[in-house]
Amino acid sequence: MGLIPKETKFFELFENQTQNAIKAAEFLKDAVKLNKFDEICVKKMKEFEHEGDTITHEIIDKLNETFITPIDREDIHKLASEIDDICDLINVISNRIHIYKIDNVKDPYLEEFLLNIVESATALNNAVKNLKDIKRTRRILEYCIEINRLENAGDSLREKAIMELFEKEKDPIKIIKWKEIYEVAETVLDTCEHVAKTIEEILVKNG
């Protein structure tokens, strides 16, 4: 009794971050599936990135003005930065498609990567939703396990995509372009896994 209440706004902001990442991934996935990637798409993807940066800055500002935090300050900063990296990297995929002038973006491997990214970001969103109640450790860990599964699937998908690229594509420039796009997409899933590991560390500290 009489204790200063801990600030819970951080968890809402983490949710906002992950929701923004989901929206960015879904938007890009739909553009690829419909093979409709244009300047409007590039602009929209940059808007998602800027929105992510805005939320991250809000978290840092809130951190600087909050005396008692619900979890370690370092963990809040790390989690916010890593989630922000996800949206940044999704925008890198869009940026590469744009600067490499990829005319036909309807690629089954890229579609699958983006579907996995949507699912991974959704699992992260569910994990941070439950993070405000550390007693939900088992449920949170289930989401982290799913994120790890999707990262492993991403590793296999990258290998398969690049192998087929070298087998079927004769244009070396196209090989270079698509290889990098696949690798960036896989890095998004790696980054989601890094966030999941950070969440697991938070659970251990506060369990």
Residue 55 included in any domain: yes
Please tell me the predicted confidence (pLDDT) of residue 138. 93
Going residue by residue through the chain, which has 207 residues, state the pLDDT in tens, using 9 for 90 and above: 333 346 679 999 999 999 999 999 999 999 999 999 999 999 999 999 999 999 999 999 999 999 889 999 999 999 999 999 999 999 999 999 999 999 999 999 999 999 999 999 999 999 999 998 878 899 999 999 999 999 999 999 999 999 999 999 999 999 999 999 999 999 999 999 999 999 999 999 987
pLDDT recorded at residue 2: 32
* Residue matched to tokens 């800055």: 57
Contact 15, 125 (CB under 8 A): yes
Q: How many domains does the chain have?
A: 1
Is 73 a member of any domain?
yes
Q: For the chain, state the CA radius of gyration.
A: 18
Does residue 20 contact residue 50 with C-beta atoms inside 8 Å? no
Q: In the prediction, which pLDDT does 4 show?
A: 34
On whether residue 3 sits in a domain, the answer given is no
Residue 22 lies in a domain: yes
DSSP string spanning 43-59?
A: HHHHHHHHHHHHHHHHH
Q: Is 62 a member of any domain?
A: yes
Is there a domain that residue 1 lies in?
A: no
Rounded Cα distance, 3 and 201, in Å: 26
pLDDT at 162: 98
Q: For the stretch 151-188, what's the b/e string if a residue is b when 16 or more beta carbons lie within 10 angstroms of its beta carbon?
A: bebbeebbeebbeebeeeeeeeeeeebbbebbebbbbb
In sequence order, the 6+-apart residues with CB closer than 8 A to the CB of 207 are 134, 137
- The model's pTM is 0.94
* CATH code, 15: 1.20.58.220
Is the residue at 4 inside a domain?
Answer: no
Name the residue range of residue 17's domain: 9-206
Cα 45 to Cα 126: distance, rounded to the nearest angstrom = 23
Residue 148 covered by a domain: yes
